Structure 1
Amino acid sequence: MNKNHFPSWFRQFAKTTLVMACAVHSGQAVGHEKAAVIDGWVGTWAASPQASGDTFNAQTLRQIVRTSIGGSVVRVEVSNQFGSQPLRIANVRIALRGNGSSIVSGTDRAITFGGSTQITLPVGTRLTSDPIQFQVPAFGDVAISMYLPGATGPATAHQTGQQTNYIAPGDVGSSVNLSSVGTTGSYYFLTNLDVQNPQALGSVVTLGASITDGVGSNFNGNDRWPNVLAKRLLQQGIQVGVLNQGISGNRSLADGAGLSAEHRFDSDVLAQPGVRWVIYSDDPINDLMASPQPTATQLIDVLKRLIAKAHQNQIKFFCSTLTPYEGTTGWTSSQEQARQQFNGFVRSAASGCDAVIDQDTATHDPAKPTWFLPAFDTGDHLHPNVAGLAAIAHAVDLGLFTAPPSTPLPPVQPPSECGALSPGQGLTRGQSLVSCDGRFSLTLQNDGNLVLYHGSTPLFATGTVGSTAAEVLFQQDGNLVEYDSAGQVLWQTRTAGQGGAMFYLQNDGNLVIYDSAGSPLWASNTVTPMAP
């Protein structure tokens, strides 16, 4: 390519980049003992959405959320992912929970979306609120209320909430006490509560089925194994958000009770705020109990694909062995054989897992390894009780979240032309990429910060000043990543999975990653008009 010209498709898209960049995502910084994202957002609670037949009309929902970590700024996400019609939501509010359906007087705050107190969500969409100042307690209860002014149609829900939530007639979200209250054990339309916490290292997603979702735990007890893990982390002063993305009945190979683990991995894991780790738990048990029964190889192949996708996004993948379930209705020796094969692979050096959470060893009866230890069995021989759930949580090594790993730095080639990086090219400390008109430069500075300049005026930076940044690499998968000297990710554009992509420092001052078809995937939003 001539260094003074860009391809025709590039010139066409460059003209509209400022508009389209609003729809693409910004880079995120990940690093040991630093906030997990540049903008500071980390998830403290989540519930994976699924379809339901429940409907609402002119009612207020007040839903109780048990947090993992605290924070001083908050935002929520609402979803119409599985709706059949546009969803109207109004008067969304957040407060500290009092007793029952009441809130603590004086703590109630309004939540807006793009400055508005009323929104309409198209079918299949989610929406994140504006941030507000609000002191979120660690491992405490927050009440989130929303008014549904019209008929909702079938609600997007999380069915096994294991928590009493409240339904009241009319627009009463700001009321301290609710009257004529109905109750439900599910969550509706609410998928995320995020916080800003400068001490947060990131979030861990627990991806699984009913054992993760909390079947076997006490209703309103907040003693699911992810809750117990969150409490253990807090007791050790480790600020990591724990996001429970379990769905009862979920499988890895087929949709049904929610989308399959593979089909929801992008939204329920990769898209979670501040995610740095994922623990993959009990989905394959439901696969094994389905008809026809899949082979262990099929389950292992899904696991391999999930591991690869996590690693492409610089997320550590912790595998779990499958708990025993002999004695439950439908158990067969063929299922047991496949379970053992799956567990054997997970424990092997060839698995690709970054760590293993040995739920099997933590819960089985040493005298009868294909059965639960009686003290851990709810009685259905499939779900562990509260003691068994605690045993699973205690099988997680907390050092996994604090030990700074060290990996070799990937090789990086210098830019071969002005204003562009091809896959495999990048910058080392002190190097710059210069736009073809010479007005703009992208420099990996000696202080560790990657900065875009217009002459001497900074337009964009990764915020990694003071780090041991060693290189910036435009990877073969389309992700632009800044690595420290230990090979750990400091910042990235999160555009992995886009082979054939290209990175450009345009003559208008915008940094843009385009996919192989010429559509923008990420932009720095730094278009700078030329002086008249």
Structure 2
Amino acid sequence: MKRWFYRLFKAALVVLMILPDTTHYFAQGIVSAAPWVGSWSVAPSVTDDPGFNNQTVRQIVRTSIGGTSARIRVSNLFGTAPIVIGNARIARRTRGQQTVTGSDRAITFGGQPNVTVPVGASVVSDAVAFQVPALADVAISLYLPQQTPPRSTGHVDGLQDVYIAPGDVSADPAFSGGTANSAGGQSYYFLTNLDVQNPAATGAVVAFGASITDGLASRANTNRRWPNRLAIRLQRAGMTVGVLNQGISGNDFFTDDAGQAGLRRFDRDVLQQAGVKWVVISDDAVNNLLRDPPATSTQLIGALRQLIDRAHRANVKVICSTLTPFNASPEIESTRQEVNAFVQDSSSGCDAVLDQASAVGDPADPANFLPGYNSGDNLHPNEAGLQAIANAMDLEALAALPPIQAPSACGQLAPGQGIARGQRLTSCDSRTSLNMQADGDLTISQAGTAIWSAGTGGSASAELRMQENGNLVAFDSNGVPVWESGTSGHPGAYAYMQDDGSLAIYASNGVIWASNM
């Protein structure tokens, strides 16, 4: 018996010796069921840095939404050699390069404090329990122990001071020896994303564009880009929506002169963002009109159609922006107007429109900025103009659930009408009802007895909507379908709770679906 126990003890000891050290996971308490949603981002491109060696880079990011856990993404997408991150930390910032004492947390990668990022790749950190504040500054420090090649991956024109210090001072609240790097538009280096976990978050909206989106004419260290201002509006409206800036100054749809071409980078920079639900396609096309030769309206509309289609196939809604004026020649101005007419046409495929042109244009002279919104170059809006763009966003376009109207006739759900969780639609003889039950199930009942179920019990169903395309859909609170009738393609169709206990969908050619079919 003693020999058996001794062998068991030795085996257990060996197992404990080879298991990875997971103590830090439990100490930080990072387990969460909430999905990841982006709170801050920059679009990766090539910077003009001379390289780093045995230095710490402390970078300040302005969050849009908060959360209880955080993770970062570090990119070497355009690098020429692998880069080594020797240590990474996250903390609350007080002012300048200083952080709040006691707020600092270690960031790990696969349980380790260091990671090597291959050429052309990016890495996502482990989750770390960290109370991320909304609309506030967070400091992320990366220690780079080995020489990095010049012209690294990052983001030019970050408009935010970056602090650099010798050695590893990533955990030092004072960042001893650090100095501000205010050159090159205050570029970000290697860091591209901060994601959070927040059960209240309904998704992220990505602002995809060029210098107007990047906030080029706004003052550094003030966070007055229009996406930052939109984040403030959303918070004030009680909407927990992450706002991610993927603007690159000089970017356009077709060329790689300033970052990768918009058509090329769209999937990575938009569709692969954490929790993305919406994209605002903003000002890339303006730069195409400034090229020699300028793009045609056919080319620009074709690019927009392609991006709209790609976004919709990824279940991302598209908010199309009109192109702002820039005192163009009559021929180019005509092209701008043609593109704007397409964007505003109901057949464009855009789910909503952000009318930037009307927001900053002069009503008396639509080819030019309103003087109070002109930065002085006739191309970029000033800070007041950027605020006007943020104010022009219809926040209903960023609602997690499609807005529904209450039924207007007994037993019937016309297009746009629906019922929310806990509500019912009663047949005209009042004997049968369609119910969105508290447990998430969609049922039909007669005299208190269920006679049909959609099988969604235990789901997060939040509302049932008769869509304008003829499809009857149950959505969860994040706007994700959990059940549908599969009858899209019949505009004008309506649902009807019949006296005989059958729920039917009627189109112009009669019944196209019924619960008892």
| Fold equivalence (TM over 0.5) | yes
Letter of the 1:112 counterpart: T
- What is the distance in 2 between the residues matched to 1:393 and 1:61? 31
Q: Does residue 150 of structure 2 align to residue 141 of structure 1? A: no
Q: Secondary structure at the match of 1:384?
A: coil
Letter of the 2:354 counterpart: I
Q: 1:176 to 1:490 in 2, by over 3 A?
A: same
- What is the distance in 1 between the residues matched to 2:129 and 2:336? 48
Query: What whole-Å deviation, never above 9, does each CA across 1:446-495 have from its counterpart, x for those lacking one?
Result: 2346xxxxxxxxxxxxxx4556799xxxxxxxxxxx96369963479xxx
Q: 1:342 to 1:465 in 2, by over 3 A?
A: closer
Query: What whole-Å deviation, never above 9, does each CA across 1:82-108 have from its counterpart, x for those lacking one?
Result: 000111111100000011111111101
Counterpart among 356, 359, 376 of residue 356 in structure 2: 359
Letter of the 1:200 counterpart: A
Equivalence for 1:50 = 45
Counterpart among 100, 108, 114 of residue 112 in structure 1: 108
Moved more, 387-396 or 54-63: 54-63
Equivalence for 1:288 = 289
Counterpart among 159, 163, 186 of residue 160 in structure 2: 163
Letter of the 2:227 counterpart: P
- What is the distance in 2 between the residues matched to 1:139 and 1:262? 30
Equivalence for 2:430 = none
- How is 1:492-507 mapped onto 2 (pairs within 5 angstroms)? none
- How is 1:225-304 mapped onto 2 (pairs within 5 angstroms)? 225-304=226-305
- What is the distance in 1 between the residues matched to 2:332 and 2:482? 43
How far off is 1:159 after superposition? 0.2
- What is the distance in 2 between the residues matched to 1:314 and 1:251? 24
- What is the distance in 2 between the residues matched to 1:265 and 1:348? 23
Q: Does residue 65 of structure 2 align to residue 69 of structure 1? A: yes
Equivalence for 2:474 = 484
Equivalence for 2:36 = 41
- How is 1:465-476 mapped onto 2 (pairs within 5 angstroms)? 465=460
- How is 1:77-476 mapped onto 2 (pairs within 5 angstroms)? 77-153=73-149, 154-178=151-175, 179-184=177-182, 185-326=186-327, 331-402=328-399, 404-405=401-402, 446-448=455-457, 464-465=459-460
Contact 1:447 1:467 in 2 (8 A): no
Q: Secondary structure at the match of 2:38?
A: strand
Contact 1:448 1:469 in 2 (8 A): no
Bigger radius of gyration, 1 or 2? Answer: 2
Query: What whole-Å deviation, never above 9, does each CA across 1:256-301 have from its counterpart, x for those lacking one?
Result: 2111111111111110011000001000000110112110110100
- What is the distance in 1 between the residues matched to 2:400 and 2:56? 45
The TM-score, its normalising length taken from structure 2, stands at: 0.73
Contact 2:322 2:355 in 1 (8 A): yes
Q: Secondary structure at the match of 1:263?
A: helix
Structure 1 outlier segments of 4+, above 4 Å: 465-470, 485-488
- What is the distance in 2 between the residues matched to 1:343 and 1:91? 48
| Percent identity of equivalent pairs | 51
How far off is 1:255 after superposition? 1.6
Q: Secondary structure at the match of 1:173?
A: coil
How far off is 1:68 after superposition? 0.3
Letter of the 2:196 counterpart: V
Query: What whole-Å deviation, never above 9, does each CA across 1:10-47 have from its counterpart, x for those lacking one?
Result: xxxxxxxxxxxxxxxxxxxxxxxxxxx97421000000
Q: 1:448 to 1:127 in 2, by over 3 A?
A: farther
Q: Secondary structure at the match of 1:228?
A: helix
- What is the distance in 2 between the residues matched to 1:158 and 1:357? 25
The TM-score, its normalising length taken from structure 1, stands at: 0.71
Q: 1:305 to 1:38 in 2, by over 3 A?
A: farther
How far off is 1:403 after superposition? 6.5
Query: What whole-Å deviation, never above 9, does each CA across 1:242-264 have from its counterpart, x for those lacking one?
Result: 00000000001222211111111
Contact 2:82 2:117 in 1 (8 A): yes
- What is the distance in 2 between the residues matched to 1:131 and 1:485? 29
How far off is 1:126 after superposition? 0.9
- What is the distance in 2 between the residues matched to 1:448 and 1:144? 43
- What is the distance in 1 between the residues matched to 2:256 and 2:457? 45
How far off is 1:56 after superposition? 1.3
Query: What whole-Å deviation, never above 9, does each CA across 1:274-333 have from its counterpart, x for those lacking one?
Result: 10000010000001101121101101000000000111111110000000000xxxx432
Contact 1:253 1:299 in 2 (8 A): no
- What is the distance in 1 between the residues matched to 2:479 and 2:181? 47
Contact 1:209 1:249 in 2 (8 A): yes
Contact 1:483 1:489 in 2 (8 A): no
Could you list the runs of 5+ residues in structure 1 that have no partner in the other structure?
A: 1-36, 409-427, 431-443, 450-463, 471-481, 493-532
Contact 1:206 1:245 in 2 (8 A): yes
Q: 1:465 to 1:373 in 2, by over 3 A?
A: closer
Letter of the 1:121 counterpart: V
Q: 1:393 to 1:467 in 2, by over 3 A?
A: closer
Q: Does residue 61 of structure 2 align to residue 60 of structure 1? A: no
Q: Secondary structure at the match of 1:308?
A: helix
Q: Greater relative contact order: 1 or 2 (C-alpha under 8 angstroms, separation 6 or more)?
A: 1
Query: What whole-Å deviation, never above 9, does each CA across 1:101-123 have from its counterpart, x for those lacking one?
Result: 11111101000000011110111
- What is the distance in 1 between the residues matched to 2:190 and 2:481? 33
What's the Cα RMSD here?
Answer: 2.4
* Matched positions, count: 395
Q: Secondary structure at the match of 2:262?
A: coil
How far off is 1:51 after superposition? 1.3
